[in-house]
Amino acid sequence: MNISIDVQERDHQTTITLAGEIDAYTAPKLREAAFPYTEKQHANVVIDLSGVTYMDSTGLGVFVGLFKSLNANEGTLELNGLSDRLKRLFDITGLADIMNINPKAEGGI
């Protein structure tokens, strides 16, 4: 179980490109890499999930935490490139109703 995390900052936007699996083993790595960007005032974070092949509830918890941190700091979170399976996971949990999700949008800057 591996995850690849690539972070790029440009023009007041942080783009985080993920590949692999987000589970109990890799979620702490994602949290550690992403949270510093959510704590900045008015941060704009875009996460490209097009390379993610699997995510469990631990991964969902990371995204809830990122979302809450950004909201507290008046920032925004956009999730791009969700597979049908990941989009369904966000739909079932109700997170798709509160998060900005573009299932087929291409990530990157």
Q: Are 29 and 5 in contact (CB under 8 A)?
A: yes
**Predicted local confidence at residue 35, as pLDDT:** 96
Q: What's phi and psi for 81, nearest 5 deg?
A: 70, 25
**Predicted local confidence at residue 6, as pLDDT:** 97
Q: Where are the domains of the chain?
A: 3-102
Q: Which of 57, 48, 109, 52 is nearest to 77 (CA)?
A: 48
Q: Examine the pLDDT at 77 and tell me if it is beyond 50.
A: yes
At residue 105, the 3 state secondary structure works out as coil
Q: Are 45 and 10 in contact (CB under 8 A)?
A: no
- Out of 3.40.50.720, 3.40.1410.10, 3.30.750.24, 3.40.50.10470, which CATH number does the structure's domain 3-102 have? 3.30.750.24
Residue with the bigger pLDDT between 12 and 1: it is 12
Q: What mean pLDDT do residues 70-95 have?
A: 95
Q: Return the bridge partners of 51, or none.
A: 19
pLDDT digits (tens, 9 = 90+) for 2-58: 999 999 999 889 999 999 999 999 999 999 999 999 999 999 999 999 999 999 999
